Amino acid sequence: MKRIADAARLQAAVYLKTGRAVMPGLALLVFLVTFYSVGPADLVSSTALTALALFLCMTWAGISFARGEEPVISQLVQLKLGSLLRETASRALVLLAAALVASAFSAAWPLTKNAVSGGTFFIRDVNARDIVGMLLLLVSSSLAGGAYGGLFHSRIVGDTRLAWLLALLGCLAGVFSGVIIRGIPVFAYLSPLFPPVYSLITRFDGSVTFEAAELTKAVAACWIYAAAAFSVKILLLRRIRY
Amino acid sequence: MPDAVMTFDQVSKRFGAREVLKNVSFQIRKGECMALTGLNGCGKTTLLKLAAGLTLPSSGAVRAGDGIRIQYIPESFPRLNLSARDLLRSLGRVEGSDQKRIKKRMEQLLVLFSLQEASGIPIRAYSKGMLQKVSVIQAFLSQADVLLLDEPLSGQDRESQDAFKRLVRESLREGTAVLLACHEQPLIRALAGTAFVIRDGELHPCEAPFGEDEVIFLFGTPEPGFLIPPDLEGILRTEDHGGELLLAAQQGACDEILRRMLQAGCRLKEMRHEKDR
């Protein structure tokens, strides 16, 4: 495990030094600054919308990380680790770390504003349970976004424009899946293919607190989707090698 | 074969309609160095990637023992925004073996390849030869069962070439099997026990590297993309540099090659006899 973590550190260093992480990071910052500029805010619904924004930013980061892979370094890491699976795991670890950092930052921003305003930024007092719910939702959505973006690896979708177009269409289908299903009911069978972001937005409509059942469903949907996306990616990369 | 560390069994590789390798079969044993040569694009790199498991055969099988340690020197190394020292240290950590030993080895290799002073600056500022040195050093950080070398000397100075040969000989003595893809006949003569040329996707035993020296011509061509007369024999490799053509030939064939190339409108700019040092 230590060697996989060391490989992840190397892959992260190679990626970060390219500067490709700047734009998705900046997009998230712009969202947080503008979205939380005016209070008071409802904690649950604003967290759900932040989770959606985080999903989109992490999709962006996931695509740029996957497509920015330096093949020679990945090949050397694969040989030194002795397996493609371990090499892929090291890259997944980078996305997991990025998801944790982005989620912590996205949670810290409004909570700091709330603390600075003397607890008046949110329409009610924030308790430990809220913070746990907030972090769970944000980490889960950002992980799902990173995993979804990773599907558009350059060995899976060769053409860059096509990759971005497909990623965008997938996001739109995910965001509007509920609306599409109402118009075209048969779409319900296809909707599991798309990121589970529609339920992320609507599940907490009108909620004052993170209800355990709803939170569990939202978190589970994101983790299942992320696990499925990682598995599909590994299967495809095992077939489509260098 | 008891000492075989890797076996290619009827391996073919296709890219679309093009079959790059056709039913390639061979074994490589402990302490053996096998050279692969042939024209650019003939499938040398593909064969090395198949050996490394970085690409899969279209048919046939590549067999290697479980837990085999493979080190690979790729043909070209990326211009990263990391220093050589940081990159090598990180790759050493990924290797997982004794870190103190790897660090000591890294320092020795940086000195051996005269890279210690430049090891702190980003690799993206390196020349081609310096990049290749980093590529070589990462492969020699720890002992391997199989060493895959793809044009390992390109751009390197003479001292580094000699150091590289010493390292490979040392590895061979320790039982490492070496697959070497290159054009340089002197290097093949210096290291390899057997040599094969890849022609039309097939592996043919190659006697030329051991039998005679090669002659290197540099011709000025009448137009870019000039085509060499197809019936010309004895050509070992060519490199088209847009208006200039580097041609390596077997010594016995060089009179005829020179006559025909001049007849075809080329100008002789340089000619040298390449011998093993």
pLDDT bucket at B219, cuts 50 / 70 / 90 = very high
Average pLDDT in the A192-218 region? 88
Average pLDDT in the B20-45 region? 92
Q: Cα dist. B80→A62, A136, B139, B149, B249 in Å? A: 20, 36, 17, 21, 37
Nearest by CB: B54 against A10, A80, A241? A241
CB A122 within 8 A of CB A114: yes
pLDDT value of position B115: 92
Provide the CA B236 distance to its chain's centre, in angstroms: 15
Distance CA B247, CA B39 (A): 11
**CB-hemisphere CA count at 13 Å for A63?**
23
pLDDT for residue A204 is more than 90:
no
Most confident of A183-192, A232-241, B173-182: B173-182
Mutate to test the interface with B, among A16, A80, A88 (most CBs of B within 10 A): A80
pLDDT bucket at A146, cuts 50 / 70 / 90 = very high
Distance CA A233, CA A63 (A): 12
Q: Which residue has the higher pLDDT, B275 or A215?
A: A215
Interchain proximity B72–A77, CB inside 8 Å: no
Q: Which residue has the higher pLDDT, B184 or B147?
A: B147
* Polymer length of chain B: 277
Interchain proximity A10–B90, CB inside 8 Å: yes
pLDDT value of position A166: 96
Average pLDDT in the A128-156 region? 95
Q: pLDDT tens across B186-213, in order?
A: 888 889 989 999 988 999 988 656 656 6
Interchain proximity B94–A70, CB inside 8 Å: no
**Sign for the pseudo-dihedral over CA of B52, B77, B36, B41:** positive
pLDDT bucket at A225, cuts 50 / 70 / 90 = very high
Distance CA A226, CA A196 (A): 10
pLDDT value of position B251: 79
Nearest by CB: B72 against A18, A70, A76? A76
pLDDT value of position B277: 39
Residue B115 backbone zone (phi > 0: left; psi -120 to 50: alpha; other: beta)? alpha
pLDDT value of position A208: 84
Q: How many CB atoms lie within 10 A of CB B62?
A: 18
pLDDT for residue A145 is more than 70:
yes
User: Element (H or E) spanning B28, and its range?
Assistant: strand B18-29
Distance CA A144, CA A166 (A): 16
Q: Give, rounded to a whole angstrom, the gap between the first and last alpha carbons of chain A.
A: 25
Q: Is B246 on the interface with A (CB under 8 A)?
A: no
Distance CA B34, CA A116 (A): 70
Q: pLDDT tens across A22-78, in order?
A: 999 999 999 999 999 987 889 999 999 999 999 999 999 999 999 999 999 999 999
Q: pLDDT tens across B227-258, in order?
A: 888 788 788 778 787 788 888 888 778 888 99
Lowest mean pLDDT among A168-172, A232-236, B6-10, B99-103: B99-103
DSSP labels for A56-122?
Answer: HHHHHHHHHHHHT--HHHHHHHHHHHT-HHHHHHHHHHHHHHHHHHHHHHHHHHHHHHHHHTTS-SB
What residues of B are in contact with residue A84 (Cβ under 8 Å)?
Answer: 53
Q: How close A161 gets to chain B, by Cα (Å)?
A: 22
Distance CA A234, CA A151 (A): 9
Average pLDDT in the B123-136 region? 93
Nearest by CB: A76 against B55, B86, B91? B91
Distance CA A162, CA B20 (A): 28
Distance CA B133, CA B88 (A): 11
pLDDT bucket at A169, cuts 50 / 70 / 90 = very high
Q: What is the DSSP letter of A204?
A: T
Q: pLDDT tens across B70-89, in order?
A: 999 998 899 999 999 999 99
Distance CA A51, CA A203 (A): 12
The residues with which B62 forms a beta bridge, in sequence order, are B8
Q: A-side interface with B, Cβ within 8 Å?
A: 2-3, 6-7, 9-10, 13-14, 17-18, 70, 72-73, 75-82, 84, 239, 241-242
Q: How many CB atoms lie within 10 A of CB B268?
A: 12
Q: What are phi and psi of B113, to 5 degrees?
A: -100, 15
Read off the tokens for B30.
């402990």
Say yes or no: ipTM exceeds 0.85: no
pLDDT bucket at B276, cuts 50 / 70 / 90 = very low
Interchain proximity B94–A241, CB inside 8 Å: no
Neighbouring residues of B92: CB distance < 8 A, sequence distance ≥ 6: B99, B102, B103, B106, B141, B142
CB B243 within 8 A of CB B153: no
pLDDT value of position B246: 87
Interchain proximity B90–A6, CB inside 8 Å: yes
Distance CA B63, CA B61 (A): 6
Lowest mean pLDDT among A155-159, A216-220, B16-20, B207-211: B207-211
Interchain proximity A17–B95, CB inside 8 Å: no
Residue B225 backbone zone (phi > 0: left; psi -120 to 50: alpha; other: beta)? left
Provide the mean pLDDT of chain B.
89
